[in-house]
């Protein structure tokens, strides 16, 4: 089974989460460190503004193997966030087996997001999945779990109205701005950053603001976004002048340090002569230095402050969330039934191999003796008869064994099967479909079978 280790807006404040924010280079390094741990068989790393999570399949199915894998993940995350493991553990959540599968399905379906029903998380999980596939850190079991999560998210989006209405951090930020400044018809909105979050904020603003301006390190990218909304663009070096003109500033730039500092805003406010300035900082790491909020007539809301605003829209989606949770529970049951089927797969493969081996050996003995006069065509017909007989003989027991596995009752049947037919103890099957025999009595779980 799988484990999940992570932290999110539910367990860690933004000042902790921002320590784990990963650019593309940092993301690849963390994934490589996770994949390099001997305790982990498969792994995927998810990093967004509101959560950092590791999805992993331990190397082995025993309790000890899972404990080793969990510790390995904690160590990598502690190194990534430059925080001691004992200090990190209180803000982490750890989930195993069924609980872990349910968590993956809920996260991908946006049931665990700060803004219930927001669409961005599905794309972020897909990006993390693609990165893991490219890095070669996924194989059949964890890959199938994440693929199933995509299907669950699709069902939730098509069968419920969970995503109706205001469902993004950017749109909530815009709503907050309008509550402070009214309809914004006479206001100037400055977007610091020109990525997806900034674009979403601009879409939410529409034509409500007097003017939308975009300030970004890449003036070319800023110009493209500004042109889409009839606004103006400026380089980041012109930020001080842009702040002097703006009423609402929505920041979402990718930066390891504060872009808007206390000293910068102090200078800007002298020019503004007391005119109020609102910052909505949706960047992680944060773009605005926290003590900016202490300056007179300056208001700063970071991504954690938006949770209260999110709660206002949550009530209207509770019925849809309940329907979505039912879909998740059904899909979790289906996936677990498939996963339990893997428990009996080695026994089925071994039984089929032994049955076929006995029949083929007897056929070959006859073909070398009393039936040696048979032509090739007749010999081929007899080989096909053995294959058909094997399939018919084993159809009922394998079907019942798989059904019992889905119901969670296969352990006794599997043990009986191994005893009656003197099958070896197996924990996995090889790439050629043949069972691998364990000479030692260990607790390792079977590996996933495609």
From residue 1, how far is each of 75, 99, 400, 447 by CA, in Å?
21, 10, 23, 9
Residue 391 inside a domain? The answer is: yes
Residue 74 inside a domain? The answer is: yes
Do 84 and 136 belong to one domain?
yes
Do 223 and 357 belong to one domain?
no
Residue 40 inside a domain? The answer is: yes
Q: Which of 147, 151, 46 is nearest to 109 (CA)?
A: 151
- For residues 38 and 30, the answer to whether their CB atoms sit within 8 Å is no
Do 134 and 21 belong to one domain?
yes
Q: Which of 46, 49, 56, 169 is catalytic?
A: 49
Q: Residues with Cβ < 8 Å from 318, sequence gap 6 or more? A: none
Do 409 and 371 belong to one domain?
yes
Do 221 and 181 belong to one domain?
yes
Distance (Å, whole) CA 124 – CA 129: 9
The yes-or-no answer on residue 49 being catalytic is yes
Residue 310 inside a domain? The answer is: no
Residue 361 inside a domain? The answer is: yes
Do 300 and 328 belong to one domain?
no
Distance (Å, whole) CA 114 – CA 429: 42
pLDDT of residue 407: 67
Distance (Å, whole) CA 343 – CA 414: 9
Do 150 and 186 belong to one domain?
no
Residue 446 inside a domain? The answer is: no
Distance (Å, whole) CA 417 – CA 394: 12
- For residues 297 and 277, the answer to whether their CB atoms sit within 8 Å is yes
Distance (Å, whole) CA 220 – CA 233: 9
Query: DSSP string spanning 347-409?
Result: HHHHHHHHHHHHHHHHHHHHHTTTTTT--HHHHHHHHHHHHHHHHHHHHHHHHHHHHHHHTT-
Can you give the residue range of the structural domain that contains 138?
3-165+317-332
Residue 184 inside a domain? The answer is: yes
Do 107 and 189 belong to one domain?
no
pLDDT in tens, the chain (450 residues): 899 999 999 999 988 998 887 665 588 999 999 999 999 999 999 998 889 999 999 998 889 999 999 999 999 999 999 999 889 999 999 999 999 999 999 999 999 988 788 888 999 999 999 999 999 999 889 999 999 999 999 999 889 988 776 556 666 766 777 666 666 677 888 999 998 888 877 777 655 678 889 999 999 999 999 998 889 999 999 999 999 999 889 999 988 899 999 999 999 999 998 788 999 898 888 999 999 999 998 989 888 887 766 666 666 677 788 999 999 999 998 898 888 766 667 777 877 888 888 888 888 888 888 888 889 988 889 989 888 888 888 888 777 777 766 666 666 677 767 777 777 755 444 433 444 444 333 333 333 333
- For residues 88 and 78, the answer to whether their CB atoms sit within 8 Å is yes
Do 196 and 263 belong to one domain?
yes
Do 145 and 256 belong to one domain?
no
Output the domain CATH number for residue 247.
Answer: 3.40.50.720
Distance (Å, whole) CA 421 – CA 148: 36
Do 248 and 379 belong to one domain?
no
Output the domain CATH number for residue 70.
Answer: 3.30.460.30
Q: Give the total number of structural domains in the chain.
A: 3
DSSP state, 12? S
Residue 449 inside a domain? The answer is: no
Do 30 and 157 belong to one domain?
yes
pTM greater than 0.85 (yes/no):
no
């Amino acid at each position: 089974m799988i484990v999940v280790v992570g932290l999110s807006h539910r367990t860690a404040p933004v000042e902790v989460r921002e320590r784990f924010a990963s650019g593309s280079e940092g993301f690849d390094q963390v994934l490589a460190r996770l994949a390099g741990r001997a305790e982990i068989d498969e792994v995927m790393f998810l990093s967004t503004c509101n959560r950092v999570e590791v999805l992993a399949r331990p190397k082995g199915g025993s309790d000890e193997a899972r404990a080793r894998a969990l510790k390995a993940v904690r160590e990598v995350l502690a190194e990534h966030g430059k925080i001691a493991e004992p200090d990190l553990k209180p803000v982490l959540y750890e989930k195993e087996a069924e609980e872990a599968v349910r968590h993956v399905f809920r996260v991908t379906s946006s049931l665990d997001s700060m803004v219930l029903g927001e669409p961005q998380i599905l794309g972020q999980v897909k990006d993390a999945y693609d990165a893991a596939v490219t890095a070669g850190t996924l194989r059949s079991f964890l890959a199938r779990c994440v693929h199933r999560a995509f299907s669950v998210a699709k069902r939730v989006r098509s069968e419920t109205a969970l995503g109706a209405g205001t469902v993004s951090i950017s749109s909530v930020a815009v709503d907050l701005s309008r509550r402070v400044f009214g309809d914004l018809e006479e206001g100037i909105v400055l977007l610091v950053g020109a990525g997806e979050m900034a674009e979403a904020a601009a879409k939410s603003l529409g034509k409500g603001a007097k003017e939308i301006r975009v300030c970004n390190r890449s003036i070319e990218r800023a110009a493209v976004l500004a042109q889409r909304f009839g606004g103006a663009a400026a380089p980041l070096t012109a930020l001080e002048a842009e702040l002097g003109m703006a009423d609402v500033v929505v920041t979402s730039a990718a930066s390891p340090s504060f872009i808007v500092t206390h000293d910068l805003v102090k200078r800007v406010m002298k020019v503004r002569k007391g005119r109020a300035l609102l910052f909505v900082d949706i960047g992680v790491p944060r773009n605005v230095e926290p003590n900016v909020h202490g300056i007179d007539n300056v208001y700063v809301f970071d991504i954690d402050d938006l949770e209260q605003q999110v709660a206002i829209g949550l009530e209207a989606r509770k019925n849809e969330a309940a329907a979505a949770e039912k879909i998740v529970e059904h899909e979790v049951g289906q996936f677990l039934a498939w996963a339990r089927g893997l428990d009996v797969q080695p026994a089925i493969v071994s039984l089929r191999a032994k049955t076929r081996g006995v029949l083929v050996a007897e056929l070959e003995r006859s073909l070398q003796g009393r039936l040696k006069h048979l032509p090739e065509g007749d010999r081929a017909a007899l080989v096909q008869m053995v294959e058909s007989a094997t399939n018919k003989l084993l159809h009922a027991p394998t079907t019942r064994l798989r059904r019992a596995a889905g119901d969670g009752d296969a352990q006794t049947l599997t043990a009986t099967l191994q005893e009656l037919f003197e099958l070896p103890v197996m924990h996995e099957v090889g790439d050629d479909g043949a069972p691998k025999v364990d000479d030692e009595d260990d607790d390792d779980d079977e590996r996933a079978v495609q």
